[in-house]
Chains A and B, each alone.
Chain A
Amino acid sequence: MPPWFEAFLSAFLLSAGYNTAVVAVGSALLGAGGGAIGAFVLLRKRSLVSDAMSHATLPGVVLGFLFGLAIFGDGRSLPLLLVGAAFTAGLGMLAVNWIKANTRLTEDTAIGTVLSTFFALGMVLLTVLQSLSVSGQAGLSGFLLGSTSGMLASEAMTIAVAAGVVALAVLAFFKELTLLCFDEGFAASTGLNRNRLDLTLLVLLLAVVVIGLKTVGLVLVIALTIIPPVAARFWTERVGRFVPISAAIGAFGSYLGACLSASAPDLPTGALIVLILFALFLLSLALSPVRGILSAFIRHRRFQRIVHVRQGLLALAHDEPILEPITRRLMKRRGYVTGDLRPTESGWSAARRIARDQALWNLWREDCPDEAHALADWSLRPIDEVLPRDMVADLEARLGLKAEPARGATA
């Protein structure tokens, strides 16, 4: 076993020391909270509001540091930095809402304005701090990309507890938020205050962003609330499942990322968590049975085979040559034609069946031109499976064909 894998395994099994275990569990809780709240935010189509919030934390972090420096003589208090971050992120969130509600500018412009100007203000404050040349400010750059190495046990504990509280809060508001996302009107009629609920949603989002700053970093923390729900979209259409799946993806990805980054010295936690979440997203994109690329490909191939065999059999029935190589291959494989393309016994009977089917479908198309749009799907299947038996019998009678007694026709 290579040493990094051993280190990873012991982190994964929570046996790599107290700090690593608290960080890993805290990350998983945060991932679950982020995935769940992100699912609701995605449904409200406001995913990128988190981008404005996360960038707006920078001036708050620096102000928190300066405040701590002025009052306690030391700025490195994680709770204080996070309170500062939450304060300016909250201001940023309110600014986005205000711009959207009171000016002609759209939400994307509001988000872009807030994220760039708040972050720029943070940069200016950061250079002020640098010229003060006080100790401990190097730790602030950890907020940019997040780092768990060198994290104090008390800090890890703060993050884990806060993440747990957020996850519980999402559970507490689950029903109301579901209503808000799916039926605003009904939600309002049951006496829920829609604006307050929207604000609750954003405050929970803000909590995830702020708590994630230290581990994932402010540039990447929004991934915790965006990637899991987008991945979960591929697995279900129902909210009852969508939110838990999204939370599970978030929790699993964050846990795995935190453990991996503990396995070697130079692995940035935030980047790893995001890349693992992205890998989970790619897996969902590829493998989901509903919308995945693989299942779409299989469906397409199956459809293609049905069409080719049907066309081949029709060609047999009309005594025309089969030209398409794919058709030839499929017909041979099914034993409808021999190696030198001569029809077999089963080929003849299948061809007769398909020719009758096609004739019936053609007749039906003349009868009901209005329903022709449905034919794209239907007419590839045997007519007896699609239309009621008496209707088929009637069509057959008019075609002048004898109904096959085996099927017990009524005509």
Chain B
Amino acid sequence: MDAITFLQFDFPSILLGSLAALGCGLLGNFLVLRRQSLMGDAISHVVLPGIVLGFLVTGTVDSLPMMLGAGVAALISVGLIELIRRLGRVEPGAAMGVVFTSMFAAGVLLLEQSGAGGVHLDVEHALYGNLESAVWLEATGFGDLLRPEILADLPVSVTRLAVVNLAIVAFVALLYKELKLVSFDPLFADTLGISSRLVGTLLIVMVAVAAVAAFDAVGSILVIAMFICPAATARLMTDRLGTQLWISAGVAVASGILGYFAAALGPQLLGVDMSVSAAGMIAVVAGLFQTVAMLLAPRYGVLARRRLQRV
């Protein structure tokens, strides 16, 4: 692999995978702490009917109306989940299951009936994403990384994810104290005048934004994995939220890079000439990180706990 093909074909995909992983991974910390891990799962499923509707209304595969549709669908689903949880007096998980399966089913039916399936809009695409299709043909050497006019030719999905990532970092940095309080002790937060409901809603809105921005490029499965695995890994390594955020960011980016190389080069190392799904491999690598942490983490790993019990 020489430098130019790397820059033209591999670099944009790696960037895309890592950016998606980083944004979702950071927000995932709060979902994991608030026991809302599956909100990412639910939101990335309900995005489908929104996208299809966005397409049907405008008739183009332009991403802006489709993303708007997706965002609206995500917010509607969150409201519905809350409504069913209250009226039906069922656990949030069951309410979530009702809403996201039904909305996903509506999306599938719309897709099949409208014939939108022909124009790259299909369910498999929504699940698996299309990470490998990102290219940066204008790149001619590493010097281009510093030249804004050529950087501007990076795929629009990269730019979009970069902007969303900045927004996520700003959100976490600005509301750090509030998010921390609300995640660990919502009642105490309320007594301090920090509305746990408002902060919770803002968090879910950010999750929806991140999911919608990322899933077009990397597919909803990788989005779900990134909301959970890096944060869960970090949670096993430390008790301090600040450290946890840094670890999760590191794990997310490392999964993005290692997963991509494993997918692109792994089979060749094994002597087989093929390449496997990069999005899938990134999620698998993130799962491996978490497995290692579950077994070997210094204090909360299974082995460390066993040793403590024996003493």
Contacts and interface: CB of A to CB of B under 8 A. Distances in A.
A139 to B, nearest CB: 14
Contacts of B87: 285, 291, 293
B240 interface: no
A275 B98 CA distance: 10
Which of A99, A108, A120, A268 counts the most chain B CB atoms within 10 A?
A: A120
A68 to B, nearest CB: 20
A45 B91 contact: yes
Given A120-B284, A145-B123, A131 B274 contact: yes
Interface in A17-60: 42, 45-48, 50-51
B101 A119 contact: no
A144 B124 contact: yes
Chain A contact-residue range equals 35 or more
B152 interface: no
B30 interface: no
B284 A127 contact: no
Nearest to B273: A131
B229 A116 contact: yes
A109 B32 contact: yes
A121 B280 contact: yes
Given A116-B221, A120-B279, A123-B221, A47 B94 contact: yes
A124 B109 contact: no
Contacts of B300: 103-104
Contacts of A293: 87
B287 A104 contact: no
B38 A281 contact: no
B251 to A, nearest CB: 13
A160 interface: no
Nearest to B32: A109
Interface string B23-41: 0000000001001111011
B275 interface: yes
Contacts of A189: none
A222 interface: yes
Nearest to A124: B280
A51 B102 CA distance: 14
Contacts of A268: 108-109, 112
A291 B85 CA distance: 13
Contacts of A123: 127-128, 221, 277, 279-280, 283
A220 B101 contact: yes
A270 interface: yes
A274 B225 contact: no
A141 B124 contact: yes
Interface residues of B, number: 62
A272 interface: yes
Which of A102, A123, A141, A293 counts the most chain B CB atoms within 10 A?
A: A123
A50 B275 CA distance: 31
Given A120-B284, A126-B277, A99 B294 contact: yes
Contact of A109 (B37, B105, B276): B37
Contact of A103 (B96, B106, B294): B294
B136 interface: no
Interface of B: 32, 35-38, 40-41, 45, 84, 87-91, 93-98, 101-102, 104-106, 108-109, 112-113, 123-124, 127-128, 221-222, 224-225, 227-229, 232, 235-236, 263, 267, 274-277, 279-284, 286-287, 290, 294, 300, 302, 305
15 contacts: A51-B38, A103-B302, A112-B40, A120-B225, A120-B279, A121-B280, A128-B276, A144-B127, A219-B104, A220-B101, A226-B94, A230-B97, A275-B102, A291-B87, A291-B88
Across the A-B interface, give the 10 residue pairs with the lowest CB-CB distance, nearest first.
A117-B287, A120-B283, A123-B280, A116-B225, A226-B97, A131-B274, A223-B101, A274-B105, A278-B102, A112-B228
